[in-house]
Amino acid sequence: MNEHALKGWLQQAGFKTADPLSDNIDSTIANATTPLMHAARLGELDIVNALLTLGADATLLNADNNGALWFACFSDSEACAAALIDAGAPLDTQNINGATALIYCASAGKTPLVQLLLTAGADPQLMTLDDFTALELAANPGCLKLLKNARNTAHA
């Protein structure tokens, strides 16, 4: 993606732009949402990659303590999630409810993303504020099996 197209995308999404774009790449809109979070929420891999190339910070969190990885999971984009993991997005950030991306994906039945997160090293033992783990919230047999295997491997 060229810089002109990225600048247009940023402006249309309501973000400030500067020259060079990298000077304002982590600007925010409502709820402390960065361009990287917004692109991940939309599952726009080309934008995610362009932002990462310009130095967007994959570790930033919004006002709810969710990061770009959470939003990539929300959009069900394995490709965006993998790019963010490769860029150093934290795997085990807990949002204001204590939920991690893994807990969210398990509770939403997003089996391929549960696999991706577990393979990357996400901690399946973390709990929400209500003391639920990803295993306890698993929404389908695929997630349940992956999380049981992860638990058994951890206890072995």
What is the per-residue pLDDT across 41-80, written as a single tens digit (0 to 9) for each?
999 999 999 999 999 999 999 999 999 999 999 999 999 9
User: What is the residue range of 9's domain?
Assistant: 1-87
Q: Is the pLDDT of residue 154 over 90?
A: no
Picking from 87, 119, 144, the residue at the C-terminal end of a domain is: 87
- Contact between 80 and 72 (Cβ < 8 Å): yes
Q: If 0-12 CB within 10 Å is exposed, 13-18 middle and 19+ buried, where does residue 106 land?
A: buried
Neighbours of 120 (CB within 10 A): 17
Q: Is the pLDDT of residue 1 over 90?
A: no
Each residue of 2-31: pLDDT tens digit?
Answer: 989 999 999 999 998 888 888 889 999 999
pLDDT at 156 (0 to 100):
63
Are 2 and 39 contained in the same domain? yes
Give the chain's domain count: 2
Please give the model's pTM, rounded to 2 decimal places: 0.95
- Contact between 104 and 93 (Cβ < 8 Å): no
**Cα angle, residue 78 at apex, residues 123 and 1 outer, rounded to 5°:** 130
Are 75 and 7 contained in the same domain? yes
